[in-house]
Every structure is written in structure tokens, then in C-alpha cells.
Chains A and B, each alone.
Chain A
Amino acid sequence: MKNTHPYNDPFLKGMIQKAEEPKAPKGFTFNVMRAIEQAPIPARPGFTGKQLLSVILLGAAASITTVFMIIMPELLHITPAEGSQTLATVLPAISKLFSSFSSILNNFNISDLFGISATVIILLVAMDTLLRSTAKERRKHRNTLMML
């Protein structure tokens, strides 16, 4: 018999196909399907590192935008100015906010850079904790539903 490759052998193939092959036990399919119905579908993995970072950065950006666009004008009683007057109203307010923040830090003998860094870190950690707990709750809820 001619071989196409040194690793292939039609004669052996014919012989091997005569050998008895082990078979799965009876009722195997039934057992697998029963196990599948009983096993809760595992929760999908949470955020990956990159996704989490993106979410945190987006969250930080959204928070900063919200603070500057909505909360700050409200607190400083800035009425929404029209057209070119908007910037003229908002910018001094922002600068005022930063200078108040800076003066608070100075009172505590803390440098501006350190103060800003610490505030940002605290905000990010808080946001991360919040996101994680929300994701955990959601996963728990889904698993409970699957069990039911």
C-alpha cells in the first residue's frame, strides 16, 4: 500500500478502525442535561482592567463636567448667561472656586498640588468602590434569578 506521508498509513487506518472504541455510559446525555439545568450559569467576568480604567476616566470627566456646568453655578448663584456672557460669568466663578479651594489648603498648610492630587484620588476610589458594589449586586441578582 502506498503512503502519501510518512506519518500516514492507510493500512494502519483500516486496522485501527477495527479496534473497539470506548463509549460513553448509557444515560450520559440525560445526566449532562440535568447537570446543565442545575448548574447556575457563571457570572460573566466583571470589567477588565482597561475597561475599568476607561469607565473611571469617563466617570471622572462626567463628574467634573457636571460640577462645573450645573452644581457650581447653582452654588454660586450664577444665572445662566446668554451667548458671550456665559464664559465671562462662569470663568471668574471657576477661578473663584479654585482660589477658595487653594486658601482652604493653605489654612491647613497643604500644598495645592498635593491637595488636588489627594482630592482626585479620593474621588476616583469612591467612584471605583461604587461601581464595583453596583456590579456585584447586579451579578448576585442575576445568579439568584438563574437559580430560581
Chain B
Amino acid sequence: MTVTSKGERRLRLAMTRKGDYYYIDQVIAGDTASFAPLVERYQDMVYSVIIKIVHKSHLAEEISQDVFIKAFQSLQGFQKKAQFSTWLYRIAFNAAVSHARKAKIEISSIDDKVMNNFPQTDVQDNVMGLNEKEQKVLIEKALSTLNELDRVLVELFYLKEKSIEDITQITNLSNSNVKVKLHRIRKKLYIEMEKMMKHELAGI
């Protein structure tokens, strides 16, 4: 199959009309080209999770490609009980973690020290006083202080709006562990934003 720009446009148009399962059935029936809309639909999502763990763009691209090849080859084993995106996230997360282990990259999360008092209301009030661009810079800087696993959790929960149950399936963490981590991430982001607003606001 040759994927031309015209072909890609057609695929994009088709994607808006067909659900994941339609393409999955087509691929299982032997139509390899039907996998392209699924790649198109989920490439950013997969790449985004992987780069948060492996950090290097060329590695993230390579692993993302492997993830899609693996997904294609294992598609017959995909049970439609779960969402395709959750299944794919799980493959992507495992691939990234496995690479990180081989490369001896430590996948850490916020340590267990309790952050009881966090300046939620103050930060929210101050952030409301910033313009859109300043808010964007502030949150990007705060997110960059998070560890690998926490960034993935933020992406899954806040950006992709995955349920706690889906996140437990993807990451293999327990339900309560995911909740505790999300709670700590939330506190940490407020603390980081407060620190930045105190010391760096003038520079934004």
C-alpha cells in the first residue's frame, strides 16, 4: 500500500465516520491498509506517553513505531471488552518502561513525603490574573518538574480523561495507588506553580 497525501486525506475523512472497532475488524479480515487510520488517530497519544518516559525524540519515535507494529501483529488477540486506546496505551507504556529498564532510566514518582498544606486557593487566584500565554508557560514549567510516571498519569487522567480503572489497566498500578499518586501530583503542581509565581513571574 502506498500512503499518499491524497490517500491520507481520504483516511482522515473516513476516520471521522468510523469507530475503532470497524478498522480493527477490517484489519483482522486481512485489510492491512485499514490499520492506517488507527495509527493516524493514536500516533500523538502513543508518542506523547513514550517520550515522557524515554525523553529522547528519536527513541520515542522508534519505540512508538514498534508499538504500532506489535499492536498490528497482536490485533487478533485484542478483546473488545476494553477500549482500543486503553489496550494501545498499555502496550506503549510497557514498551517505554521496558526500554527505560534496559537503558537503566529510573522511572520514579513523587516520594511519599506528605505535603499537607498546599496553596490551592492562592495559586488559583493568582493564575486567574495571568494571561493565556503566561498560564501556558507556568503549567508547562510545573509539569516539567514531575517525574516520568507522574507525567504519564497526568496525561492519562487530565488530558485523555481516562478513568482510574483504565489507568490501573495501563500502568498495572493498583486503584488506590493511582488515586494517591494523582492526589500528590495535584499538590506538587500547586506548590511548583506557587514557587514559580513567587520567583519567576517577572521573567514570564
CA distance A49 to B42 in the complex (A): 37
* Contact present for A29 and B36 (CB under 8 Å): yes
Considering the complex, give the chain A residue whose CB is closest to the CB of B65: A32
Within 8 A of A (CB), among B37-96: 39-40, 43-44, 46-48, 51-52, 57, 60-61, 64-65, 68-69, 72-73
B47 to chain A, nearest CB (A): 4
Select which of B43, B157, B159 is within 8 A of A28 by beta carbon.
B43
Select which of B36, B127, B157, B179 is within 8 A of A33 by beta carbon.
B36
Most B-side CB within 10 Å, residue of A13, A15, A17, A30: A15
- The verdict on B186 contacting chain A, using a C-beta distance below 8 Å, is yes
A68 to chain B, nearest CB (A): 41
* Contact present for A29 and B47 (CB under 8 Å): no
Point out the residues of chain A lying under 8 angstroms from B48, CB to CB. Answer: 21-23
A interface majority secondary structure: loop
Known: A15-B135, A39-B69. A28 touches B140 (CB 8 A): no
- The verdict on A75 contacting chain B, using a C-beta distance below 8 Å, is no
Select which of A7, A20, A41 is within 8 A of B179 by beta carbon.
A7
* Contact present for A28 and B39 (CB under 8 Å): yes
Interface residues on A, range: 20 to 34
Known: A5-B179, A33-B36. A24 touches B68 (CB 8 A): no
* Contact present for A19 and B143 (CB under 8 Å): yes
| Chain B interface (Cβ < 8 Å from any Cβ of A) | 1, 3, 8, 32-33, 35-36, 39-40, 43-44, 46-48, 51-52, 57, 60-61, 64-65, 68-69, 72-73, 124, 127, 132, 135-136, 138-140, 143, 154-155, 157-159, 178-180, 182-183, 186, 189-190
Q: List 28 A-B contacts (CB under 8 A).
A: A6-B183, A7-B178, A7-B179, A8-B157, A11-B124, A12-B190, A15-B127, A16-B159, A19-B136, A19-B140, A22-B47, A22-B48, A22-B57, A23-B44, A23-B47, A24-B47, A24-B61, A25-B57, A28-B64, A31-B65, A32-B39, A32-B65, A33-B32, A33-B36, A36-B68, A37-B1, A37-B32, A41-B73
